[in-house]
Amino acid sequence: MGLLTRLLEPKATVHAHCDLPCGVYDPAQARIEAESVKAIIQKYHDSSDPAFQTRALLIKEQRSDLVKHHLWVLWTDYFKPPHFEKYPQLNQLFNEATKLAGGGPGGTKSSTDVAAADQLLAKIDEISKIFWETKQG
């Protein structure tokens, strides 16, 4: 049994955003979650119900994590060295965007500042512009 197990054991482990390397990438996934984060922050501020506000904060944190996840997939799986050579600002954009979605100071996960959500959306727009330029050529 040991020989059969070794023969059938995978030789490499691969990871993709959907557990199948489908090649489908789109910054819209991150943008939709970031728009949700912004809307939740606005609803949080509009409410005086502590139970609603607590629920809003939990959902906002989950959505912020999803923004980071979708950005990381693009950063690590879609963009390749030639893209980073042509667009040297890409690493900085992704770094700033993921920090804006994160739990650190100024990040949407740890803050209820609508301006942070707007900054995150602006970074995603910059990434999206570059993404679609790479799809053209």
Domains of the chain: 26-136 (1.20.120.400)
pLDDT band at 1 (very low <50, low <70, confident <90, very high): low
Distance between CA atoms of residues 34 and 124, nearest Å: 9
Overall pTM > 0.75: yes
Give residue-wise pLDDT tens across range 26-35: 999 999 999 9
Q: What is the pLDDT of residue 7?
A: 64
Choice among 4-8, 41-45, 88-92, 127-131 with the minimum mean pLDDT: 4-8
pLDDT band at 15 (very low <50, low <70, confident <90, very high): very low
Q: Is the dihedral of CA 110, 113, 115, 118 positive or negative?
A: positive
